[in-house]
Structure 1
Amino acid sequence: MGYEDHPDGEQCFHKIATVTKYSGFLGVVASTFDVLMLSKTQGYVPTLVCYIRSTVPAAAAGATFAAVTCVSTTFRGKDDKFNYFYGGASAGGIFGVAARSFRVGVPLAVFLGFCATVYKDSKDNGWKVFPTGIKHEMGMIDSSAKYDFTLTKPR
């Protein structure tokens, strides 16, 4: 069950459920970080309020992104980057409403719209935003000792 299982503009409820699940999980992770590291709430009610304050807007932003993108694709009849920009901008607007601030909502709407456009471009053209397959090698300070950099290497 993934977002890209169906073409854009089809199976909207499936896409909304998928994106809401993942964005809600991200909201829970952000809320946990907030409770443990930043606000350090004391008691059950303040902790619950902190979780609700972060998780609900994140899940709502994910649902709004998927819904607006899918409906825009269906109504416009085109599968292009503008649909993703509309979805990202509306998700940023949800965060602005949650923060009750235009100073948060408008720049975040533009930023998330741009990020969604870049994601759509990566889907269309086959490149990855975060490439996989990079080999990381663990080593110590002298890890270069296994390479021979002499000019007269024996053959």
Structure 2
Amino acid sequence: MSILNYKYYDTPEGHDIFKKTFVTTKYAAISGLAYSTFDVLMFSHPKGFVNTVGRVGYIVGPLVGMAAAFTVTANMVQNYRGKNDKLNYFWGGAAAGAICGAWMRSATIGVPAAVVFGALAVIKKTGVDEGWTFIPDTTLASKSIQSVRHDWTMAKDIPELKSYVIKPEQ
């Protein structure tokens, strides 16, 4: 299976740690680039190319580090303990929170972030184990190329009025 098509839960916990880390850091990098673009354009307004790249790196780097810390910690704890339970995800979330605290240079932020990220990771693990759907797949029929073939009107046309439509001569 290609690493680009790999999904996090394609293999059991504790296996293919490199692929799982690639998946999580890929999503963190994409999210970080979106957020840093918003930050650069709307808030920080750095002057020059080097300062802009530095600001983007300041935001994207720690987010990628938190994703990698979560993945590696959760999977290594899984391999060490030999159990696939919620505690592994809690330790992964706590590692990500520790990275967040180091990024903010504050233990006052880092300790609560570790607890909150650990709790969120436990909720995610519970959802995965019990089959919860966090973000449902929805397709909007009104947004497809076939939309013109559907009649989305609230009231149908009256058939006898159609004969009174004036058609241009050809």
Q: Superposed, which structure 2 residues align to 1:39-58 within 5 Å?
A: 39-58=44-63
Cα 1:46–1:10 shift into 2, 3 Å:
same
Q: Aligned equivalents of 1:2 and 1:134: distance in 2?
A: 21
The unaligned stretches of length 5 or more in structure 1 are 138-145, 148-155
- 1:19 aligned onto 2:24: yes
The residue number in structure 1 matching 2:79 is 74
Q: Secondary structure at the match of 1:74?
A: helix
The residue number in structure 1 matching 2:128 is 123
Q: Aligned equivalents of 1:53 and 1:47: distance in 2?
A: 10
The unaligned stretches of length 5 or more in structure 2 are 1-5, 143-153, 156-170
The residue number in structure 2 matching 1:153 is none
The amino acid of 1:100's aligned partner reads: R
Q: Secondary structure at the match of 1:66?
A: helix
> Shift in Å at residue 136 of structure 1?
10
Q: Secondary structure at the match of 2:87?
A: helix
CA deviation string 1:3-39 (max 9, x = no partner): 1111101111111111111112211111111101111
1:63 corresponds to which of 65, 68, 72: 68
Percent identity (aligned): 38
The amino acid of 1:5's aligned partner reads: D
CA deviation string 1:60-103 (max 9, x = no partner): 11111100010010100000011011101101110111111112
Q: Secondary structure at the match of 1:30?
A: helix
Q: Secondary structure at the match of 1:41?
A: coil
> Shift in Å at residue 132 of structure 1?
3.7
Q: Superposed, which structure 2 residues align to 1:84-103 within 5 Å?
A: 84-103=89-108
Give runs of ≥4 in structure 1 deviating > 6 Å.
134-137
Q: TM-score, normalised by structure 1?
A: 0.83
- 1:8 aligned onto 2:52: no
> Shift in Å at residue 131 of structure 1?
3.3
Q: Secondary structure at the match of 1:20?
A: helix
> Shift in Å at residue 134 of structure 1?
8.6
Q: Aligned equivalents of 2:139 and 2:112: distance in 1?
A: 33
Q: TM-score, normalised by structure 2?
A: 0.76
CA deviation string 1:97-123 (max 9, x = no partner): 111111221111111111111110011
> Shift in Å at residue 130 of structure 1?
2.8
Cα 1:82–1:134 shift into 2, 3 Å:
farther
